[in-house]
Amino acid sequence: MVSLWRAATGLKEKTNDYDGVEFWSNPERTGWLMKQGEYIKTWRRRWFILKQGKLFWFKESTITRASIPRGVIPVASCLTAKGAEDVINKPYAFELSTRSETMYFIADSEKEKEDWINSIGRSIVQSSRSVTDSEIVDYDSTKR
């Protein structure tokens, strides 16, 4: 079975999937979240950065140009971001779902959870809008 993170990112091996994204500068959103480990399913506290349609995570909150993300999720691969307290029985939990997998996260408060869901949701819409904008055909001009 393909690992959750590799499936979500489409990666076969660890590669630099963040080329061109200066995650260390002016992120859209940052903060601590709990996430499950990829292989050992314990909950771990990680520093997350959302920028330019990618959700990065790190062990530490001090991020520089030299920092290397522990992982990255292209938000465009996500279909939904929604609360998940009932699913995993933990307060302030939310989920990100792709076509094949669901990833769970735990925020420190209800407000943090809602802020992350809203930020990721906006990023999903922006990435889908950029795809559809490039595919739009002006049908009115073809009727003349």
Per-residue pLDDT of the chain (144 residues; tens, 9 = 90+): 345 555 555 544 444 667 689 999 999 999 999 998 878 889 999 999 999 999 999 999 999 999 999 999 999 899 999 999 999 999 999 999 988 889 999 999 999 999 999 999 999 998 877 655 555 444 444 444
CA distance 105 to 57: 12
Q: What is the pLDDT of residue 131?
A: 54
Q: Where in the chain are the domains?
A: 4-13+20-133
Q: Which CATH number fits domain 4-13+20-133: 3.40.1010.10, 2.30.29.30, 3.20.20.140, 1.20.1730.10?
A: 2.30.29.30
Please state, as a whole number, how many other Cβ atoms lie within 10 Å of the Cβ of residue 116. 22
54 touches 23 (CB < 8 A): yes
- Write the burial class of residue 51 (CB in 10 Å: 0-12 exposed, 13-18 middle, 19+ buried): buried
Q: pLDDT value at position 16?
A: 60
Residue 141 has a pLDDT of: 45
Cβ neighbours of residue 120 closer than 8 Å, sequence gap 6 or more: 50, 55, 75, 78, 81, 96
pLDDT of the residue at 126: 87
